[in-house]
């Protein structure tokens, strides 16, 4: 799953460690999410959305283009 976490973090001038502290997770967790190696759980995704004050789907993109209702 693609995400904008790195961009959003850079816009706030936060280090990975700083973001990790704000989310109460490890720096490795932030790095794994940013590099797409790990998709966060729903509670963590909500935490991110609240921290960056935007909807989850604006941070994460699963490539969904709508149901095919033929």
Partner 1 sequence: MTDLKDSTMTERRNAKRPMSPRRKRYLTATGIAALIGCIMGAWMQIDNPSGSSASLAPLSNSPLTPSFAVGASILWVIGLIVALSIYHRAVDDHEERAYLWAALAAWYTFALSAPVWWMLHRAGLAPPADAILLFAGALVLNCIVWLWLKYR
Report the residue number, 18 or 49, with the smaller CB distance to partner 1.
Answer: 18
CA-to-CA distance for 5 and 48, rounded, in angstroms?
9
Candidate list 6, 38, 49, 51; residue touching partner 1; CB under 8 A: 38
Contact string (CB under 8 A) for partner 1, positions 11-30, x = contact:
----x-xx--x--xxx-xx-
Residue ranges in contact with partner 1 by CB under 8 A: 15, 17-18, 21, 24-26, 28-29, 32-33, 37-38, 40-41, 43-44
């Amino acid at each position: 799953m693609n995400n904008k976490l790195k961009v959003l973090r850079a816009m706030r001038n936060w280090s990975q460690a700083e973001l990790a502290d704000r989310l109460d997770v490890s720096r490795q967790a932030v790095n794994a999410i940013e590099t797409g190696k790990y998709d966060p759980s729903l509670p963590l995704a909500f935490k991110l959305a609240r921290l960056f004050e935007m909807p989850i789907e604006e941070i994460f993109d699963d490539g969904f283009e709508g149901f095919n209702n033929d």
